[in-house]
Every structure is written in structure tokens, then in C-alpha cells.
């Protein structure tokens, strides 16, 4: 594959050299299959074979990005013309950049962490694999007199980066995902499995995780009064909950006073029971070992014992790929010592939220958010689940929620997070969440 990508990059770099454009070329290839199913079987499937390149000028002030799937001579010329038109608008574009966040030197290949994320499988056989997974999953669910819907996907991805300083980076990755929502009576629950290695998928275990909390909850629906409740967030819900805070870990944003974390470095912002890091090196993490500018990804302790310890800069650029220039790609929330059962046993009156829907920022300064629970909201009373909650809306401050963290499970679950990374999160217990 790397030979193919080199061959594709060569004419782009040659033409850029001729035009004196110091270009970085980032080629991404993706091949694979996604299948969606409902109770009786598959209702949608699709095989995709995608190839795109992104170009960016490595120096200067005004970034210009071109993304194209047209590798023909005309397509490349057209892409370079766009870069040149941007350069005309921003004379600083081709001047050397003074920023401390400049791209890597030509020693990148040695300094990048080694990450094995490629576990080859036959693309030809993925339809058969998908059919087997869906059939087995539905058989197990029907056996429990439940209904279901979900998806299965298996992809191979290749990331290839070249820059005019001679840096060449290549990262192959595979990913298998299986997500299932199970309904029984008024209760429903969701579980998704993700791993780069398809052999790690155990359909029975994934369906079992989706089924496991439904038991008693399927007998009773609970309508909750507005007020404060203890809450357990699933790893997926926690990742969604945390989302509005991500961009605020950008060092430059903080230094400019435009982050809600500005001026809080070294200060306690969350509960002592909450620690967070950005780390691709953490055991069980996966992702691309270089950032959007080709710099090596390095571990950063963002929050330790509730104290804001560090911020993101070089090595964490997502420029051109996400809306914000520096975004965490491999978040890890520190695990605790409890099991999920232990946590439930400690709760007097609380809720379990498995998945969040339309989590939205109402007011930024206090990170006031609202949203709804979806696919797996349960009411917990005196240590056990006593019913499903069909409708749950919260409205609270993220700071306030994370200041009330009381514990986390020992189990962490791997979640796909964006195109180039993943997250490793435990179940998180908070002592109060405001439901409205």
C-alpha cells in the first residue's frame, strides 16, 4: 500500500516544487463495509472505496487547505491553483512561520510512537462476516424475546503524510464496530464494540452487555420529578458529555483568554476523583501516531486529581480536519477501583445514562449544558435498577457535574473517537446531576 501512496504523492510534490509551494501532502484511503440492521435483518448496506488527498502550505499565517479525490494531472493542477490563489490573498502565507507551533523537523519518523493498529482481514469476505455477525446477534436477541437494531462495520484505513522537508509518515489501521440497541418491554439499552482487531469481536458478549441492565427494568417505567440525582454515565455517555470542553484544552486559546480554562492552569477545576490524559501510549489505546501537521503525538496529563495540569499544543494539531485547530484525539479518563455493580450498590436514588442525545451548550462560561438520555436510561433506588426511564432531560453545568465525581469503574471501554483516534473511558459515578 505504501508504494501506491508514494506513487500518488510523487506528481503532487513534483508540481508543487516547480511552483515553489512548500506543500504538505496527506493522503487518506478507506475501504470497507457498513451494514445496518433492524429486528428481522439487514435494511441497508454499503461498501466504500475512498481515496482523498489534502494539501496544506507548511509555512505562513493564512492556512489554505485543499482536499481532493482527483489524482489526474488536471485535478492536481487545479488543487495547486487554489493554494496559489490563497497565497495571493495572504502574502504572509509563503513566509516562514514564526509560531512555536510549527511543523516537525525531518526526524519525525524516529520520534513518533509505534502503534500497531492494523490487523489485516479480507475485504472480499466482509459481506459474509457482516451477515454472520448480524444473524448471530439477532438470534441471541430473539431468544430473549427482545427486539433490536444496530450496525456492523469493518474498515481498512491508510494514512500517508509527506512534506517538503522529507518527512514521510505512514500509518495503516483497521477497525471493526458492532453496535446494538435492544428493546424489551419499555426498556432499551445500547452497547457498541470497537477494536482494530476483528478477532476481538465476540457477538454474544456484545449482545449480553446490551441486554444485561434490561432485566428488571423491562417490568416498569419510571417518570422522574425534576431535581438532583446521583448518576452513572456509561463510557459512551461520558465521552459525549465531555465534548463541549474539548476545544478549551487548546493552549493558544487559553493564552488568549478565550477558553473557559484560561487562568486555571494549576488550579482545581474538577473533583479529586477525576483524572484525564491525552495519550496514545496508554495501554489499550489506538490511533494515528502523528498529528495533522506530521508532528509526533505525545502523552499529556490534562487533569490530575481534579487539577488542570497541562494543555494541548504541538503534536495535537487537528487543523483542516476538525473545526478547532487543537483537539484531543486520544482521551483517557483514569479508571477507578469499583465494578459497575459496586457503584449501583452505593446509590440511594439515581439514574444510569447509557447514551446521550443532542448534548448542547446553552451558555459557555459555566459550561451550562442540556441534553437527553437515549437508549438505556434506568432509575436506581437503594442499590438496584428498578425501572427504565423513557424520558430524561438534564440541564446543568459541566464544571458542576465533574466537580461531583465520586468514583469510576476499573473497567475502561475503548470507543472510536473521530477519524484518527479513540477514547478509553470508564463508567463514571457523579453525586449529583440536575434533571429537569
Partner 1 sequence: MEKILALLQEKMGRLGADYADLRFVEMERSRTRTKNGAFEELKDSASRGVGFRVLKGGGFGFSATADLSEKSLFRHLEQACRMAKSFSKIRHAEVKLSSAKSAKVRWVLPVKKDPWKLSLEEKIAPFLEAQRKIKMDPEIDSACGVLDLIRKRVVFVSSEGSWIDQLLYRTGGWIYGETWAKGEKIRRSWPGPSGVFRAGGYEAVDQMKFPDEAERIREELKELRQSPEAPSGTFDLVLKGSVLALQIHETFGHASESDRVYGYEDNYGGRTFLNPGLLNGYPVASSKVTLVSDAQPPSSPPPAGRGEDKGGGWGAGTFAYDDEGVPAKRIEVLREGVFSAYLTSRETAYFLNQPESSANMVAQDGFHYPIIRMTNLNLLPGQGNLDELIAGVQEGYLLDNELSWSIDQMRLDFQIGGEAGYHIQNGKIKGLVRFPFYHGNTLDFWRSCDRVAGKEEWDFWGFSDCGKGGPYQEAFTGHGLSPARFRNVEFGRE
Beta-carbon contacts of 135 under 8 Å, excluding residues fewer than 6 positions away, are 41
Q: How far is the CB of 108 from partner 1 (least distance, A)?
A: 24
The 350-379 contact track toward partner 1, x by CB under 8 A, reads: -------xxxxxxxxx----xxx-x-----
Q: How far is the CB of 305 from partner 1 (least distance, A)?
A: 26
Contact criterion met (CB below 8 Å) for 368 and 337 = no
Give which of 368, 346, 372, 343 is closest to 358, Cα–Cα: 372
Distance, CA of 377 to CA of 381 (rounded, Å): 13
Contact criterion met (CB below 8 Å) for 305 and 395 = no
> Binding residue for partner 1 (CB under 8 A) from 64, 140, 224, 430?
64
Which residues in the 89-148 window bind partner 1 by CB under 8 A?
89-90, 127-128, 130-131, 134-135, 138
Give which of 132, 226, 173, 250 is closest to 422, Cα–Cα: 173
Q: How many residues lie near partner 1 (CB under 8 A)?
A: 70
C-alpha cell of residue 192? 457498541
Contact criterion met (CB below 8 Å) for 260 and 369 = no
Q: Is the dihedral of CA 381, 242, 213, 409 positive or negative?
A: negative
> Binding residue for partner 1 (CB under 8 A) from 6, 15, 19, 42?
42
Give which of 38, 10, 254 is closest to 134, Cα–Cα: 38
The 21-40 contact track toward partner 1, x by CB under 8 A, reads: -------------xxxxxxx
Stretch of residues binding partner 1 (CB under 8 A), selected from 70-78, 157-165, 286-294, 397-405: 70-78
Beta-carbon contacts of 149 under 8 Å, excluding residues fewer than 6 positions away, are 36, 37, 38, 39, 180, 181
Cβ closer to partner 1: 335 or 359?
359
Cβ closer to partner 1: 245 or 300?
245
> Binding residue for partner 1 (CB under 8 A) from 45, 301, 342, 400?
45
> Binding residue for partner 1 (CB under 8 A) from 13, 24, 27, 149?
149
Which residues in the 195-254 window bind partner 1 by CB under 8 A?
none
Beta-carbon contacts of 18 under 8 Å, excluding residues fewer than 6 positions away, are none
Which residues in the 169-188 window bind partner 1 by CB under 8 A?
179, 181
Which residues in the 268-307 window bind partner 1 by CB under 8 A?
none
Please give the residue ranges that form the binding site for partner 1 (CB under 8 A): 34-52, 62-70, 75, 78-79, 82, 85-86, 88-90, 127-128, 130-131, 134-135, 138, 149-151, 153, 179, 181, 190, 258, 320, 357-365, 370-372, 374, 391, 393, 395, 436
Amino acid at each position: 500500500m505504501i508504494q501506491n501512496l508514494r506513487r500518488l504523492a510523487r506528481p503532487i510534490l513534483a508540481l508543487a516544487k516547480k511552483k515553489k509551494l512548500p506543500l504538505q501532502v496527506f493522503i487518506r484511503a478507506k475501504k470497507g463495509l457498513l451494514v445496518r440492521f433492524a429486528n428481522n435483518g439487514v435494511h441497508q448496506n454499503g461498501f466504500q472505496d475512498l481515496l482523498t488527498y489534502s494539501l496544506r502550505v507548511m509555512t505562513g499565517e493564512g492556512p489554505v487547505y485543499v482536499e481532493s479525490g482527483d489524482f489526474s494531472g488536471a485535478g492536481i493542477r487545479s488543487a495547486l491553483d487554489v493554494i496559489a490563489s490563497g497565497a495571493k490573498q495572504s502574502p504572509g502565507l509563503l513566509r516562514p512561520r514564526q509560531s512555536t507551533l510549527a511543523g516537525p523537523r525531518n526526524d519525525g519518523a524516529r520520534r513518533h510512537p509505534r502503534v500497531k493498529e492494523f490487523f489485516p482481514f479480507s475485504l472480499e469476505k466482509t459481506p459474509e462476516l457482516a451477515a454472520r455477525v448480524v444473524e448471530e446477534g439477532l438470534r441471541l436477541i430473539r431468544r430473549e424475546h427482545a427486539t433490536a437494531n444496530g450496525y456492523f462495520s469493518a474498515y481498512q484505513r491508510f494514512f500517508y503524510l509527506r512534506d517538503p522537508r522529507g518527512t514521510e509518515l505512514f500509518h495503516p489501521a483497521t477497525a471493526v464496530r458492532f453496535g446494538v440497541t435492544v428493546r424489551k418491554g419499555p426498556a432499551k439499552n445500547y452497547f457498541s464494540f470497537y477494536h482494530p482487531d476483528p478477532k476481538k469481536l465476540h457477538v454474544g458478549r456484545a449482545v449480553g452487555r446490551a441486554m444485561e441492565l434490561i432485566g428488571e427494568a423491562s417490568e416498569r417505567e419510571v417518570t422522574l420529578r425534576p431535581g438532583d440525582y446521583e448518576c452513572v454515565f456509561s463510557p459512551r455517555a461520558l465521552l459525549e458529555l465531555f465534548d463541549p470542553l474539548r476545544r478549551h484544552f487548546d493552549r493558544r486559546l487559553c493564552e488568549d483568554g478565550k477558553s473557559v480554562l484560561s487562568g486555571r492552569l494549576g488550579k482545581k477545576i474538577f473533583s479529586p476523583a477525576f483524572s484525564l490524559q491525552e495519550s496514545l501510549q496508554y495501554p489499550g489505546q489506538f490511533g494515528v501516531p502523528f498529528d495533522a501537521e506530521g508532528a509526533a503525538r505525545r502523552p499529556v496529563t490534562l487533569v490530575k486529581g481534579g487539577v488542570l495540569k497541562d494543555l494541548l499544543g504541538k503534536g495535537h494539531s487537528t487543523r483542516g480536519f476538525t473545526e478547532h485547530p487543537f483537539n484531543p484525539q486520544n482521551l483517557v479518563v483514569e479508571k477507578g477501583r469499583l465494578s459497575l455493580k459496586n457503584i449501583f450498590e452505593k446509590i440511594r436514588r439515581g439514574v444510569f445514562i447509557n447514551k446521550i442525545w443532542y448534548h448542547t451548550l446553552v451558555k459557555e462560561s459555566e459550561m451550562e449544558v442540556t441534553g437527553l438520555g437515549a437508549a438505556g436510561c434506568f432509575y436506581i433506588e437503594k442499590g438496584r435498577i428498578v425501572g427504565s426511564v423513557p424520558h430524561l432531560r438534564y440541564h446543568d453545568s459541566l464544571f458542576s457535574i465533574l466537580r461531583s465525581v465520586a468514583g469510576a469503574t476499573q473497567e475502561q471501554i475503548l470507543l472510536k473517537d473521530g477519524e484518527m483516534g479513540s477514547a478509553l473511558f470508564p463508567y463514571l459515578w457523579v453525586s449529583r446531576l440536575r434533571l429537569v
